[in-house]
Amino acid sequence: MIDLQAIGQHTHIPTTARRLLERPERQLQLTLNLRTTEKHLFQAYAFVVYWNTARGPAKGGIRFWPDVTLAETTDLAERMVYKTALVGVPFGGGKSGIAIDPRGMSIPEKDSIIKEFVHLIRNELFGADYIPAPDMGTTPRDMAVIFGETHRPETVTGKPVRVGGLPGRAQATGRGTATAAKAAMEHLFGRSCGGCKVAIQGFGNVGSWAAWFLHELGATICAVSDVDGGIYSTTGLDVQALTKWVWSGKSLSEFGQGERISNADLLTSDVDLLVPAAIGGVLDETSARDVRAKLIVEAANGPTTPAGQEVLTGAGREVVPDIVANAGGVVASYVEWRQGKSGSLTGEAETYETIDEHICDAFTRTLAVARRESVSLRTAAEILAVDEVVETMRDRGWL
């Protein structure tokens, strides 16, 4: 993900540090075998990757999706290294994934798969080397199943509140996205989010909570979408009704407001703020040319390709990169992990306050470097994150 050679033009990266950062520390490719009936053997590839653990145990979610690969898991693990470093939480970067489609899967089937996965990586979990959390295709309930297998609250984050989870954890990534958008609007454009027109691609947990918090800040949510397409209203959607509709399990397409649009149309909506909160690579060299939003805040991991970033920068669009914008989740994960180890209790308001503090600090420092070095916010964030990891490796005697 990070071009160390390019970053090295702005900050010194020792040769040893460069060698340690240009490849993962550990990659596991496993075959998950599970006999589901007398005649049926379920099989799926599973992956666990640690990119760098200088700053602490590998932190990263468990992804259940049919096209998960070792390459994708590795890329996401690397992103986590720099995300945790930038927002100042003592974790390294990791990720795991199982190449299955959770949609339509029964609860007992999914529980069995999770338990077998825990069995396969039990040394990683009990050794506190890897700390999972929910990701695409997994939920807090799934994290509760992991907790049920380990009986240690600090081995997994993103659990339901009643089983050692953190109040506000489900909202955390969306909260951080809204906070990053607010900071960017104020510092880059000299205005609040009040009255801003917003389009959000992806209306799952992250996108829906981002919409909720942006609406609370006074923004007008004009367009949202899911995998099947989206809806658009130039005067704004009823966010409270919409989120409750989707959270109740109903289809976005059946919500009786707005006109139907495609995901591609959403990206080019006439709005002030675009929040890609779905999958990676949606803003490429082609789609980025038609983006009209002044500000893009990356709630998803890697929604903008390098070529797409060049197009957006050339057009004067500002992009708050994912390692800033969607780091609210890992900040909350740290608070939950700390709570699990200490037995302390944290309230929802304190969770939000901690997220806001870390995200605002990361954005402010990123903007300062961007202006000092005359680079994009993405490059500035990467400079800061690489510096932090390099200095940590120096502190540990690795350099």
Catalytic positions are 95
Side chain identity, residue 237? L
Residue 264, Ramachandran bin (φ over 0: left; ψ between -120 and 50: alpha; else beta): alpha
Query: Cβ(108)–Cβ(142) under 8 Å?
Result: no
Residues 6+ apart with CB under 8 A from 60: 76, 77, 80, 93, 94, 95, 96, 130, 132, 133, 135
User: What is the Cα–Cα distance from 199 to 293, expressed in whole angstroms?
Assistant: 9
Where does 57-171 have alpha helices with state H? 70-87, 107-120, 122-126, 140-150
Of 221, 177, 184, 108, whose CA–CA distance to 328 is shortest?
177
User: What is the Cα–Cα distance from 101 to 75, expressed in whole angstroms?
Assistant: 20
Q: In angstroms, how far is the first alpha carbon of the chain from the final one?
A: 22
Residue whose pair of structure tokens reads 């990891």 in the numeric block: 389
User: What is the Cα–Cα distance from 121 to 116, expressed in whole angstroms?
Assistant: 9
User: What is the Cα–Cα distance from 22 to 14, expressed in whole angstroms?
Assistant: 12
Of 68, 65, 61, whose CA–CA distance to 29 is shortest?
68
User: What is the Cα–Cα distance from 327 to 141, expressed in whole angstroms?
Assistant: 22
| Secondary structure (3-state) at 259 | strand
Query: Cβ(174)–Cβ(206) under 8 Å?
Result: yes
Query: Cβ(194)–Cβ(177) under 8 Å?
Result: no
User: What is the Cα–Cα distance from 21 to 17, expressed in whole angstroms?
Assistant: 6
3-state helix, strand, coil in the chain (%, to 5): 45, 15, 35
